[in-house]
A and B are shown apart, each in its own frame.
Chain A
Amino acid sequence: MAKELYIDLSRCQGHARCWAIAPETFGIDDEGYAYVIEGREGSYDEENVRKAIRNCPERSILIRETEESQ
């Protein structure tokens, strides 16, 4: 089992703190909502990403188990 980082879009409200703190991992779409940059789904343990998780006002940055093993 592998794990991956994702944004719960039902919670994200576009504060953009994740992008400010860890721009190498998080992007912001045209309406202002966050997404995990392709290829960065496995970065959940990096210090910047952990800091972004702690600073997300909506607690919308989550980690889930995936079927796919890498």
Chain B
Amino acid sequence: MSEQKEVVEDFDFHGEALDEIFEDYDVMLNKCPVGHSSKYGGFTYIAKSEDIFAAEQDPDTFAVAPSMLLPSFGTDDPLIPIDIDPPTHAGYRKILLPLFTPMNIASLEPGMVETAKQLAEDVISAAADNDGVADVSKLFARPMPTIVFSRLAGYPEEDWPKFDQWVDDIIYRRTKEPEVAYAAGGKITEYFDAMIKKREAEGGEYNDLLDKVLNSQVDGRELTHEEKISYSFLLFLAGLDTTAWALRSSLWYLAGNPKAQQQLRDNPDEIPTAVEEFLRTLSPVQAMARTCLKDTVVQGKEIKAGERVVLVFGAGNRDPEVYEDPHDIKIDREDNRHLAFGGGIHRCLGSNLARKEMVIGLEEFLKRVPSFEHAGGEVWHGVGPLTLRIGKE
């Protein structure tokens, strides 16, 4: 690192800004833990772990409306339940809470193992056909959550090939080409509008997330059609993109660190602890937005009612007051109270599913795919290609 900057000007947490974002975090944490950026209409960021924790515990001061997402996810309608504040929020969240308990997720394990096995075999045969080189993002990290989550949610298999493009258009193009994101948002809205109408017209027995959304009550009433679409829209993006990133970034790290790769290959029981460290340091959710509802002071800086605020989870996860050698990825780090899934009332509903997918994905990948290294020099973030050279058995 060259001489450290004094302030982070126009902090951004999307796209190319992620290339060097850990250096920005260092400056923020050491010199300006609360500051202002003019990006995305202007916001105040909060970088320290304790301050982020305190903000998450205080939804009366730091509300999610109009949206936790900055910029938006290709729609201006609030997404249920993440863009909803108390007291309405709890009723929506309760609908799916029981389905995401660790016990319920454990019942999905055999299917996940089977999927991960098959995808790992696909990686091996693709590499064999291409001088030992394969794109494990396209062949493994992306399809695994698509298959696992689509089955759980109830999306018909013939629709799966459409999903990656919608995710890319919304998550990865919204900062520079909002019109592309809104067009994809329109397609997802139409997709769920049609799926919900079809299910309601045909009836039938389903045991999936969509069924739960369609047939649950909130405050003693059924959800409106618009609410059902909103909930489905959110689940779609949350279930597919984040886990793909998390799997890809874990494999990205292991490709560049043969010692860690061998350690986990030889000791698969250490994978769950390593997963927590990958989540801490390379998480798909580096920051989320709030809106300040009443004048408050954080780290001596005043934040005014009405200001947009960004909680920089990725910075909090590298806070030297909380983590020893915060930038070092230590796959055996035991104390790891990271903020990758957020906290407070908006804690990621799917965290137990995501963890299980990551652990099983890495277990099956390492069990089957021989030692691998970078062949494409790709960046750590996103869900783009991850080109690896895969060794012989």
Contact = CB atoms under 8 A, between A and B. Distances in A.
Contacts of A55: 335-337
B100 interface: yes
Contact of A15 (B97, B335, B347): B347
Interface stretch (B116-124, B245-253, B338-346): B338-346
Given A13-B343, A32-B101, A20 B272 contact: yes
Nearest to B351: A15
A30 B341 CA distance: 20
Given A51-B334, A57-B343, A14 B97 contact: yes
Contact of A30 (B57, B101, B351, B352): B101
Interface residues of A, number: 18
Interface in A1-52: 11, 13-16, 19-20, 28-32, 51
B101 A31 contact: yes
Given A13-B347, A14-B97, A15-B347, A28 B102 contact: yes
Contacts of B272: 20
**Residue in B57, B100, B102, B338 with the greatest tally of chain A CB atoms within 10 Å:** B102
B98 interface: yes
A32 B100 contact: yes
Nearest to B352: A16
A32 B94 CA distance: 10
A32 to B, nearest CB: 4
Q: Which of the listed residues B98, B334, B335, B351 has the most CB atoms from chain A within 10 Å of its own CB?
A: B351
Contacts of B345: 13
Interface string B343-367: 1110100011000000000000000
A14 to B, nearest CB: 7
Nearest to A58: B343
A34 B98 CA distance: 13
A57 B102 contact: no
Nearest to A29: B101
B297 interface: no
A32 B57 CA distance: 19
B103 interface: yes
Given A31-B97, A31-B101, A51-B334, 9 more contacts: A11-B57, A14-B101, A15-B343, A16-B352, A20-B102, A20-B272, A28-B101, A30-B101, A32-B102
Interface of B: 57, 94, 97-98, 100-103, 272, 334-339, 341, 343-345, 347, 351-352
| Nearest 7 interchain pairs by C-beta | A13-B347, A32-B101, A16-B102, A57-B343, A54-B335, A31-B97, A55-B337
Interface of A: 11, 13-16, 19-20, 28-32, 51, 54-58
7 contacts: A15-B341, A16-B102, A31-B101, A32-B102, A32-B352, A55-B336, A58-B347
